[in-house]
Structure 1
Amino acid sequence: MPNSPEMRASDGDRDRVAAVLREHTAQGRITMDEFNERLEQLYKSRTYGELARLTADLPDVDLRHRPKTSKEVEKKHDTHAGMKAAWGAWAMASGINWVIWLIVSMSSGGDVYPWPMWVMGPWGVILLVSTIFGNNQPKRQQ
């Protein structure tokens, strides 16, 4: 059933129209001033008819099949925040352990077994395997 102009629009509908306006601004069809004016009207709009008037003078853009931007492509290959945090914790713990080992080595005056490798080694291997072979995407809550 096609949407009638009097039907209420959702936040998702407004977001799609905002994406269309951004695309037309990026392509030079509307100026930044026009974009800002239309965006202001967009978030005041309540119905599909009001949304349609904002893009009536612009060619159609199919947002479902629009080309991905470089930012979206970059996001796809980027590791998620949890994996970055895990690597950061590993690096921090490894650094602290090596500093402690260095202080103990210097203060004891002799050779001290490099025990920090047993802290960072297995943990690092697990992280490396998870990074290479894991999904690297955050789990979605249902």
Structure 2
Amino acid sequence: MANSPEMRASDVDRDRVAAILREHTAQGRITMDEFNERLEELYKSKTYGDLAKLTADLPDVDLRHRQLATPEAAPAKSGNLHPGMRAAWGAWAAASAVNWVIWLIVSVSTGDMIYPWPLWVMGPWGAILLMSTIFGNGPKRS
């Protein structure tokens, strides 16, 4: 913690404390209600002393040496798939699902199985995404 509790805290300091609170919430040390209460107080705080009160009952909290999580340091959630590629696959799946539901509604309401036109939406888009996923360069590293 800073030498002087009266010293004013910056937005970066508040972000560090928010990261600490999220980490301790994920580890089960504080409940979601406590997390929300502390987060509300966090963004009202002005000094290092105010920040220290929010983390006083949590182990291993040193705000000066706490590093903010960077996207490069964060572990990949779904293998090595780039977050943008995960989003693209999600958009493809959602659009495909909507098209198939529309196709099904029209087929049922007319009483006749109509041509499966959603394949023309899914196919080319999915093929491009598949090629990008397989042969893409992945995330850029510095």
User: What's the TM-score, normalizing by structure 1?
Assistant: 0.50
More helix by share: 1
User: What's the TM-score, normalizing by structure 2?
Assistant: 0.50
